Structure 1
Amino acid sequence: MPRLRLRVLTWPRRLLVLTDTPRPDCPACGGEGGTEYDYGAPETGEYAGTDWDPCPCWDENRYWVLLPLPRLRREGGNPWNANGYSDEPPY
């Protein structure tokens, strides 16, 4: 039985999708959907990053598109000045 939830995807365009979630009682991942592990560089053995192994109880690429969402655009160009504050009035 799938455990469905709503999610917004942003690539290749904004979409509202219905997606599956990991099994909360899965003994392999504990409901997290996978396992993270750190790995080292082969030459030095120093930390090189973190990788993710997905659990078979969940397919993170399985989803159903419900609605394409519009792109967020502002009319009249960029309202933000160099300080990061908006020049638009509050109303």
Structure 2
Amino acid sequence: MIRLRIQVAHWPRRALVLTDTPRPDCSNCEGFGGIEYPYGDHNGEYAGSDIEFCDCWNESYRWFLMPLPRRPRWLRRRDSGRDPWGPGGYSNEPPF
């Protein structure tokens, strides 16, 4: 049985899609959709992890619903360097 959710996809353009979700009561992955296996390098340090996807979920089940509109040019965020709040939108000045 497919359990659907609405998600925003960002490639090739922003759009709403329906996607499959992992089964929450799955005994293999416990609802996460896969099992992560961390591995180490020759010194025993963490070097990354592999994931084995569970059979209760198929990541490729996606259905395109509709494209999302693009922002008009005058609403897009500009980084002109003159913004008193800085590039992140936060001020480095004390509040008083």
- TM-score of the pair, normalised by structure 1: 0.75
Q: Which runs of 5+ in 1 are unaligned?
A: 87-91
Partner of 2:3: 3
Partner of 2:22: 22
Q: Which runs of 5+ in 2 are unaligned?
A: 91-96
- Count of paired positions: 85
Question: Following TM superposition, by how much is the alpha carbon of 1:72 offset from its aligned partner in structure 2, in angstroms?
Answer: 3.6
Question: Following TM superposition, by how much is the alpha carbon of 1:73 offset from its aligned partner in structure 2, in angstroms?
Answer: 4.9
Question: Following TM superposition, by how much is the alpha carbon of 1:79 offset from its aligned partner in structure 2, in angstroms?
Answer: 6.0
- TM-score of the pair, normalised by structure 2: 0.72
Partner of 1:34: 34
CA distance in 1, matches of 2:61, 2:6: 13
Q: Give CA deviations for 1:14-54 in whole Å, capped at 9, x if unaligned.
A: 1100111111111111111111221112x323111233221
Partner of 1:66: 65
Partner of 1:47: 46
Aligned residue for 1:2, secondary structure, equals coil
